[in-house]
Every structure is written in structure tokens, then in C-alpha cells.
Amino acid sequence: MPTLRINIVLFGIGNVGSTLINQVLQAQDFFLQQKNIELRFPIITNSTLAFFEKEGVKNQWEANFAQSAIPFRIEDIIEYVKELELDNLIAVDATASEAIIKNYIPLVQAGFHIVAANKKANTLHYDFYKELRVNLKRFDRKFLYETNVGAGLPVVNTIRDLYEAGDQVTKIRGVFSGTLSYLFNRFGEEDIPFATILKEAEQQGLTEPDSREDLSGKDVARKLLILARELGSTAELSSVKIASLLVPELPETLPLKAYRQQQRVLNKPFQIAKITQPENHVLRYVGEWELQSGTLEVKLISVPRNSALGQLKGADNLIEIFTTSYGEQPIVIQGAGAGKAVTARGVLSDIIRIADTLVYKAQLLQDWVA
């Protein structure tokens, strides 16, 4: 069978998107030899501009984008791929924007599969969540988003496989934020004020530009909701009970400069929480979902130091999955849950999963014709 060309339209060329392009370019020979596929990027975009290149971007893509990118609408992209009769289409959302999400359904209807690092499509109102899946089924398209939870860790696929195999997942609990993992792992091991660790994490680029986005617990809530919906929950993001780590003196409305100057007010409440917990325990900020009660909670808890959660190091994520089949012993998935290289590799894995399906279908068609 001739080499199958996979046409990828990439939305977002920030850390993850640009790293993805470079990973594909570096591995192109491997994919040709081992998979018989050629991955091409005929279109790459940022939030306002798109670069169109029929034969796919090359190593100098950044310079070409800067010189030749033009304003675009989604309709322009759909019209372009139709005019060039491009097939085997995958739209990759490497943004954190809600703007692109409203175009998922038109893209599916135009023949695109979707791979998303962007979590927001899976946490919008359930009506949209359901409508998207109706269209995916109707047009026989795939929507993969393994990196929505745990970056490159196989969390979403594991939970989906358990559910589809008929095993009943009874509880999910875990540290879903690499940033908060780092903060509390150090806080549990070192005699350093919490605000000092937070400041160092900010300086190392381990937090969002405004670390209140991490401390608010909203990102953990999104990841927890994504997993709950994989298990059939119809919950909304507003249903998640979030115990924010932000104290009243540091509201999200406080100017960023003032927030950074006043972070020391975090020291007292966390030091109290640390010294009042049982002996040989450490603090962990977790997301937790239970089947029986249907509750989704994001909260600070105290766990034994020798437990799976208690032994976390660095900025690792750790997710515990309790099921009927596995009983009291959970499935534990642990590893790096953040980073542009890890996330881009996870996105690429999803692209390859779709590409493998397309190769299989093309082979079936060729055999049938023959």
C-alpha cells in the first residue's frame, strides 16, 4: 500500500504546538518506515493568523509563519482543504482558548478528526458535550484528548477502557496538578514557609503566570470532571465542590503585583494545617469522585507519609482508580503530569492512534477493491 498522508491542521503554536511540530519533523523517517504514514501540517495557526503550506511545514516553519501568515476564519480553513481535496484530516487544538471549541462541530462535519490538549471542550455545559459526541458518531470521526488529564500519562484511556469493559469504577482520587504536587511535596519535607516555596516555583516557571490560577483549584476541578464524564456522569463544572487554597486576603480580583507582595499571608494557615495533622502525615491537594454519592470534590487532605499519595516527589501526578474488580487495591498511575515535551508527545500519540485507524481502513478498502 502506498504511504498514507495525514493532514494535520494545528491550532496553537505556543509551547505545546511548536514542540509538537518539531517532534513530528524529527520523527518523520520513523513514521514512514514503521507506520507507512507521512504526517504533514498544511495549515498552522495562532489565535489570529494562519500559515497555509500545501506540502506541509518544514524546519524553517517559524520564519515562514512570521513572513506569510494571514488573518483567517474557520470557514477559510474548511474551504482550503476542500479545494485541495485534502483527506485524512486531523484538527489539533493546542490552545487553552474557548474560541476554537465552538468550531469543533463544524470541523467534524467537514471531515476532521480532533485531538485536543485543550481541556475546555470537555468541561463546558453537558449539552455541548453530548452534541459533540452525537456529531462524532454521525460523521464517524474520532475525538482524542489523553493529555487533558496528566499530560502524557495514560489516565483517560485507562478509565475509558475499564468503563467499556464493564468494570465499575467506584472512586477516583489523585493529585492532578504538577504545580500543587511540587508545592506540597516540598512543604511536607522541608521546614520552609509555604509562600517561599510558592515564590521559588513561580521563579522556575512551574506555576501559571498568575499562580492564583493554580491555587484556585479550578484546573484540578476540570480534570476531575473530565474523568467523571468518561464514566457516564452528567455533572457540570459548577457541581464540583472546590476548597480553594486562596485565603480571603488574596482574592482573584487583587492586582497581580499586590498579590505577589502579600503572599506571606498564606504561611500561617498552611503551617497550622501542617502541624495539626497526625504524626507521619503530609498534606496533599486532591480531586476526588465517588460513584455512590456522585460527589466531585477538590480539597486539601492529610495522608500517611508512607501511602502512595504521601510518597509523591517532585511535580509528579498520581491518580488512584478504585474498581469493583480490583477491590481495595487501586490502580495507580504516576508520573510527570506537566511539561511541553511530555504534553506534545501525548498529543502526538493521539494523532498516531487516529493515523493507525486510517491506515487500517485504507488497507481494507484496497483489499476490497482488489
Q: Which residues are catalytic?
A: 223
Residue 77 near residue 90 (C-beta atoms within 8 A): no
Angstrom CA distances, 139 to 22, 182, 363, stand at 31, 43, 20
Helices (H), strands (E): how many in the chain? Answer: 13, 13
Strand order in the sheet with 331-336: 241-242, 296-304, 281-290, 169-175, 316-323, 331-336
Joined grid coordinates for residue 283 = 498534606
Tracing cell 500500500 back to the chain, one arrives at 1
DSSP annotation of 317 reads E
12/327 Cα distance (integer angstroms): 42
Residue 313 near residue 113 (C-beta atoms within 8 A): no
Joined grid coordinates for residue 326 = 480490583
Joined grid coordinates for residue 358 = 486510517
307/194 Cα distance (integer angstroms): 22
Joined grid coordinates for residue 9 = 491542521
Helical H segments across the chain, by residue range: 15-34, 61-68, 74-83, 104-109, 126-138, 155-164, 178-189, 194-203, 212-215, 218-230, 256-261, 267-275, 340-369
DSSP annotation of 312 reads -
**Rounded to 5 degrees, what are φ and ψ at 300?**
-95, 125
Strand order in the sheet with 37-45: 70-71, 49-52, 37-45, 4-11, 89-93, 113-116, 143-144
Show Cβ contacts of residue 86 under 8 Å, excluding neighbours closer than 6 positions: 7, 42
Q: What letter represents residue 290's amino acid?
A: E
